[in-house]
Amino acid sequence: MAIEPQTRNDRWDDQEEEAARNATFKSLTKEEAEALRRAEPPLSPWRVVGVQAAVGAGVALLAALLLGQPSVGWSVLYGAATVVLPAALMARGMTSRLSSMNAGTSAVSFMLWEAVKIAVSVAMLVLAPRFVQPLSWPALLVGLVLCMKVYWFALLWRGRQK
């Protein structure tokens, strides 16, 4: 009993090859590039960091006033700082001239600054009980999560400005 090899009919591969053959790259003229920049302006990372800081401060103040416990407000504020400070550090690193020299440098710079951002965030969380007395972990997590969600609102906001 011999097993006959089956020939594969990879329609996906055929479609990809055909699309690659038919695709043509058209470079933009200076006017087209300027029109594209005007139609889709880049979102500044500093604006996102600023909104994160404002959200964190507002939620911390609101929590302290509504709950009547300043320690809860400080916990929320520290949670917000755990997002805002590393994000500001990364924004500073990514907007430097060295980070935008070429595509390879930008990619390595992004990975480096993302690693720094994660390390600083983890270090701040580990040190939280030393800096905030008494620490409310749920309040800290509320501040942290709300400030992280600002990224989504920034993307939605950018998408709806068109």
- Asked whether residue 4 is domain-assigned, the answer is no
The tally of domains found in the chain comes to 1
- Asked whether residue 12 is domain-assigned, the answer is no
- Asked whether residue 17 is domain-assigned, the answer is no
Q: What is the pTM of this model?
A: 0.74
From the CB of residue 84, how many other CB atoms can be counted at a distance below 10 Å? Answer: 25
Q: Which two tokens stand for residue 99?
A: 């980070």
Residue 45 burial by Cβ neighbours in a 10 Å radius (0-12, 13-18, 19+): middle
Q: Where in the sequence is the domain holding 139, given as residue range(s)?
A: 45-156
At 128 the pLDDT is 97
- Asked whether residue 73 is domain-assigned, the answer is yes
In a structure prediction context, what are the per-residue pLDDT tens digits for the chain, which is 162 residues long? 566 666 555 555 566 666 666 667 678 888 988 888 888 777 788 989 999 999 999 999 999 999 999 999 999 999 999 999 999 999 999 888 877 778 888 888 889 999 999 999 999 999 999 999 999 999 999 999 999 999 888 777 766 555
- Asked whether residue 126 is domain-assigned, the answer is yes
Three-state SS string across the chain, please? Answer: CCCCCCCCCCHHHHHHHHHHHHCCCCCCCHHHHHHHHHHCCCCCHHHHHHHHHHHHHHHHHHHHHHHCCHHHHHHHHHHHHHHHHHHHHHHHHHCCCHHHCCHHHHHHHHHHHHHHHHHHHHHHHHHHHHHCCCCCHHHHHHHHHHHHCHHHHHHHHHHHCC
At 152 the pLDDT is 86
